Structure 1
């Protein structure tokens, strides 16, 4: 018994000597957090403001009465998401689908990297010799449990895809690539084009709102799966304007480099949400590749209150992001891209959209919070929502309400819709030639609250 007590005392002393907390309650010490401003974003300090109409707008005051609310600090894109940025998303989805198809066919014909050709695009686990203990465990216990049997298997991103038909490595590669293009009978001018309906992005998310309100559902039931066609609808340039010639915009606006820095349009609310999910995945994939790097907070669409707070740029009761009450400066220059005169779209020196970093930014260094393109926000439109929303981080997003709020006005709108308090809506599955979006990310902490 004495030996046992002595041993226990020795172990206790050794544990105390080896501990850095000296037996005190110091909390779990994680890695020091260094907030990093995401590329292309601006920090919007949290604070309170008067949301809604501040003047005697008898029509608008019914769905936007003045109300003091407070929002948390966020990062927001300095510009609307551009064609070039959205093309990065489209190319990522396209390339991922191609790589998956190549890996599946390589698996079916039993080709491995050593065989060359399509074998170079085989799943990463085709050679189990280089797998870590964890990867091998996951492969042996979870592979094949999904509907296709390929869920959880890693595709190979280390080798470049080949798009030049004269350089295809073998007939298997050609077979896969052929499935990604429109059939020959649908081609013209000797050029085959991508079948963009196959550019589908799949992602999972947890419906936190439903999980919090309905305690009876399981975690598995709260996880939702989405599959979205992500290619913009370029036909909006024709469908939005009857008896109007806009074919050049339909043909060139999204893909031509001349429009790379212009805001993307023709995207639905659901596609904008999918872009946010991809941006989070893309950034976290990079973070994972850097050992020890913390995962980033999610990118998302702004709430209606966040958007208006950011658009005001710290100015209380202002009509426009630059103050107002006029849409012209004291030198007679237009402050935004909109339709200033009936039928005259070019009076502000812009016929359609302009580059995303045009005109003067507001005091939060955000460009085109009024005009150019209207912007999707993460809110369902209810004309009475201001009457019942919370005064802290107000948000109304009813999944059964398909009318989603758009803010800021666009190149084809009159000045009224450019006002920071003006509200409008479109249906979630609608795409327009005058609606784009920008994203936000929550700021970690509260020290930048005003």
Structure 2
């Protein structure tokens, strides 16, 4: 017994060596966290509000009865995601795809940077000199899936897009045969990148399925999903959405021309909007980790409740983001971009969309929460969902239901669709010329004063 007591004392003594807690319960604290306000986002302080139709349900949809719900604090984009912002992702994916093709071709032909040309884009050997054994093992595992163990893309050399400056015949072959559409398909004389090669691949964990799992034989890996999403928007929506109408200029120019840089991106389905959130999370954390900063938490689409709460701007029972029941201000100017009067689209000074920062922001600093483009949310649409969903951070996710909630109304909708309480939906794989999106990010911590 005496020996056991001495052993316990020895173990206790040894376990306390090298620590400055003096044996006290001080907690195992991580690196101090400083909340970073994401660029272009507004902080929405959490709070309770009356969600649903506080006015008469003129359309008699009966799908939004009032109920008091509470949402935590979160960041939300001040504007809809614009063409220029979405192009940033498209171009990043394009450059990644091209670099992979160049590196694989260089590897296939045993070309190295010493030989110049396409060799400059060969896979970059990872310097493992300063890595410990654990880091080397993880690196090896992460690279095995690509077939190029221990190697990574070389981002130090700029891509060459001017065909007059291609460095060698190998580079030319890749660009002409694998990157650009065939010459016989190019009708305007300009090289055009094949949009079907612009795919973004990411992995995520299905927390909902994992939490509800009752099969003990399933492990964590059974709930890890991999999605490959084509990121290029469907520009043909400008033609398909409106038969017997001349919208060819919008089809040709809206996404790429600099005149529309600050206009909301459209032609993006729900899966593409979700992929953008994943890319933004990846892009930000690549920067943070390379600069010794803590990673940020995920960007995502807002829940239906978060969207309505943010759209109201703190105004209790308001019909529109500006509070009042009218679509004009005291000087007779329209307060949003929609279909006014009897279909006079231009009466609000806009035929289609307008720049994302047009009209006055609501009291949370958010622009165009009503009108311009309707916005995807993360929530599954069910007309009865208000009857059974939680009153704390309500959200409905049903993987078997392809209907997703869209909110806010658009440039082609009547005023009723712009009301902050009006619910609408679209199939998740459908892209439209009047649907865009904005992203949110959870606020970590509770020091934000609730409304």
- Report the alpha carbon displacement of residue 130 of structure 1 after superposing the two structures with TM: 5.7
Cα distance in 2 for partners of 1:13, 1:224 equals 46
Match of 2:266 in 1: 265
Match of 2:179 in 1: 180
- Report the alpha carbon displacement of residue 142 of structure 1 after superposing the two structures with TM: 5.9
RMSD value, Cα: 2.3
Cα distance in 1 for partners of 2:208, 2:279 equals 21
- Report the alpha carbon displacement of residue 342 of structure 1 after superposing the two structures with TM: 2.1
Question: TM-score, normalised on structure 2?
Answer: 0.93
Match of 1:27 in 2: 27
- Report the alpha carbon displacement of residue 59 of structure 1 after superposing the two structures with TM: 3.4
Match of 1:189 in 2: 188
The alpha-carbon distance between structure 1 residues 152 and 381, as it changes in their structure 2 partners (threshold 3 A), is farther
The alpha-carbon distance between structure 1 residues 280 and 169, as it changes in their structure 2 partners (threshold 3 A), is same
- Residues 52 and 61, structure 1, Cα contact 8 Å, conserved in 2: no
Runs of 4+ deviating beyond 3 Å: 5-18, 58-61, 127-144, 150-153
Match of 2:154 in 1: 156
Q: Secondary structure at the residue paired with 1:241?
A: coil
Correspondences of 1:92-103 after superposition (within 5 Å):
92-103=92-103
1:393-418 residue CA offsets vs partner (Å, 9 max, x unmatched):
00012111111111000011000000
Match of 2:211 in 1: 212
The alpha-carbon distance between structure 1 residues 8 and 423, as it changes in their structure 2 partners (threshold 3 A), is closer
Q: Secondary structure at the residue paired with 2:192?
A: coil
Q: Secondary structure at the residue paired with 2:152?
A: coil
- Residues 140 and 150, structure 2, Cα contact 8 Å, conserved in 1: no
Cα distance in 2 for partners of 1:102, 1:119 equals 8
Match of 2:320 in 1: 320
The alpha-carbon distance between structure 1 residues 11 and 435, as it changes in their structure 2 partners (threshold 3 A), is closer
Match of 2:284 in 1: 283
Q: Secondary structure at the residue paired with 1:366?
A: coil
- Report the alpha carbon displacement of residue 277 of structure 1 after superposing the two structures with TM: 0.4
- Report the alpha carbon displacement of residue 180 of structure 1 after superposing the two structures with TM: 0.9
- Residues 338 and 414, structure 1, Cα contact 8 Å, conserved in 2: yes
Does residue 1:430 correspond to 2:430, yes or no? Answer: yes
Does residue 1:111 correspond to 2:107, yes or no? Answer: no
Does residue 1:167 correspond to 2:168, yes or no? Answer: no
Cα distance in 1 for partners of 2:300, 2:437 equals 10
- Report the alpha carbon displacement of residue 16 of structure 1 after superposing the two structures with TM: 5.8
Cα distance in 1 for partners of 2:345, 2:137 equals 62
- Residues 52 and 66, structure 1, Cα contact 8 Å, conserved in 2: yes
Match of 1:443 in 2: 443
Question: Greater shift after overlay, 170-179 or 359-368?
Answer: 170-179
Q: Secondary structure at the residue paired with 1:339?
A: coil
The alpha-carbon distance between structure 1 residues 315 and 273, as it changes in their structure 2 partners (threshold 3 A), is same
The alpha-carbon distance between structure 1 residues 61 and 11, as it changes in their structure 2 partners (threshold 3 A), is closer
Unaligned 5+ segments in structure 2 are: none
Question: TM-score, normalised on structure 1?
Answer: 0.93
Match of 1:203 in 2: 202
Paired residue total:
443
The alpha-carbon distance between structure 1 residues 136 and 321, as it changes in their structure 2 partners (threshold 3 A), is same
The alpha-carbon distance between structure 1 residues 152 and 265, as it changes in their structure 2 partners (threshold 3 A), is farther
1:345-367 residue CA offsets vs partner (Å, 9 max, x unmatched):
00011111000001000000000
Does residue 1:250 correspond to 2:246, yes or no? Answer: no
